């Protein structure tokens, strides 16, 4: 089997015209794609946590707000 270099990909997540995340990743298999998606999850979770105004609100943002934030979002991939 011939070695194929990873593709550089711009991954952008938008919702209602607002960019939630944009990053460049090297994708060459399901693991690297999964790692890119996991990075997006962490970044959006950090954004949600930054918006929290109390400890209770912070605890609520741990996972549920990420899903709320991603609900209806679009994921775009573009080869670079």
**6-52 pLDDT, tens per residue?**
899 999 999 999 999 999 999 999 999 999 999 999 999 888 777 77
Give the predicted TM-score (pTM) of the model.
0.78
Judge whether 66 lies within some domain. Answer: yes
Q: In the chain, how many domains are there? A: 1
Judge whether 2 lies within some domain. Answer: no
- The CA-based angle 71-62-24, given to 5 degrees, is 65
pLDDT at 71 exceeding the cut of 90: yes
Judge whether 40 lies within some domain. Answer: yes
User: Which domain does 32 fall in, by range?
Assistant: 7-79
Judge whether 1 lies within some domain. Answer: no
Q: What is the pLDDT of residue 60?
A: 64
Q: What is the pLDDT of residue 80?
A: 92
Are the C-beta atoms of residues 77 and 9 closer than 8 Å to each other?
yes
- Most confident residue range from 3-7, 25-29, 55-59: 25-29
């Amino acid at each position: 089997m011939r070695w194929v270099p990873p593709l550089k990909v711009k991954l952008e997540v938008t919702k209602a015209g607002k960019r939630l995340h944009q990053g460049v990743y090297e994708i060459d298999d399901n693991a690297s794609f999964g790692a890119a998606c996991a990075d997006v999850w962490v970044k959006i979770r950090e954004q949600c946590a930054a918006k929290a105004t109390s400890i209770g609100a912070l605890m609520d943002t741990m996972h549920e707000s990420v899903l709320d934030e991603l609900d209806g979002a679009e994921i775009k991939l573009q080869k670079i």
